[in-house]
A and B are shown apart, each in its own frame.
Chain A
């Protein structure tokens, strides 16, 4: 490992440890307790975090199983929730690709893509020198994953020991954290509109297409409207000679 690689990998690990890894880690305590409710072993709980690494998908999967749903129905619901990982991974790739990169490396780098790593990477990678991005990302991602897998195990072991109110709080870390992180990461009008419309249109989507497809339909429509307005505004400001262009 050369000096730049090591320096950036450590910087990534450090910035994960400062806060994000713990926030997301604490929310995985809730995932661990949920898996235990279903009656699956602790190994499966920890493996689910390592291999799935998407708390909403795990919540959907184990809530469905806890309610006596079939595995096939659960897998379909999980797949719909996972579609958002496609645009996330796609939009991260320009910052993670490098010359002569193997497909295996790209696939490996895509594995930890989920809300936390996507939000933090979209904020931190673009201003960084190109040689530092992949090591920083890897250091950040490996640290987050390690802590999350550990916390899933701890959550599994702790279940029953935690008061219900506290357990409820742990599960609710995710929406609070994502909301704040999305707001901090918003760079342009389109991002703000996407946050607002994405949240506001969800109940409409649930009513229109049932709760199986609401996230996908609501997100796609909200994002496309937000993009359209953003583009319209850009076109108009571009006509003003002094117009400072967006990043």
Chain B
């Protein structure tokens, strides 16, 4: 096999398959689930908690490019973004712009 195909194989074997397996499993089981059942309520709340855990991980243990930005600044960026989104009458755009402004300023200040 040629090395040129390796990156594409990685996408399929280490990326697509592990992700798609859980989506397909959810779709097949979800075909019969009753949305008023306690099981469904539990699954839905667990999905929210798992997503919150992913977000927490991205803030606490970010990719290398963000490592120069101190933790308190990463937390401030998310906190101020969330706060301003509510202040601006539930505007997602305002929240993201404020959070990004805080983070990019900090990354520029602490950066190499």
Contacts and interface: CB of A to CB of B under 8 A. Distances in A.
Interface stretch (A5-13, A131-139, A177-185): A177-185
B1 interface: no
Interface residues of B, number: 79
A141 interface: no
Determine chain B's interface SS by DSSP, over half rule: helix
A174 interface: yes
Contact of A23 (B47, B49, B96): B96
Determine chain A's interface SS by DSSP, over half rule: helix
Contacts, number: 313
Interface in A152-169: 163-169
Interface in A90-143: 90-94, 97, 103, 106-107, 109-111, 113, 115, 118-119, 122
Contacts of B21: 79, 82
A4 interface: no
Given A44-B8, A59-B63, A179-B78, 11 more contacts: A79-B18, A84-B47, A85-B22, A87-B26, A87-B46, A179-B55, A198-B51, A203-B60, A205-B53, A223-B50, A227-B45
Interface of B: 4, 7-8, 10-31, 33-35, 38, 40-66, 68-69, 74, 77-78, 81-82, 85-86, 90, 92-93, 95-96, 99-100, 103-105, 107-108, 111-112
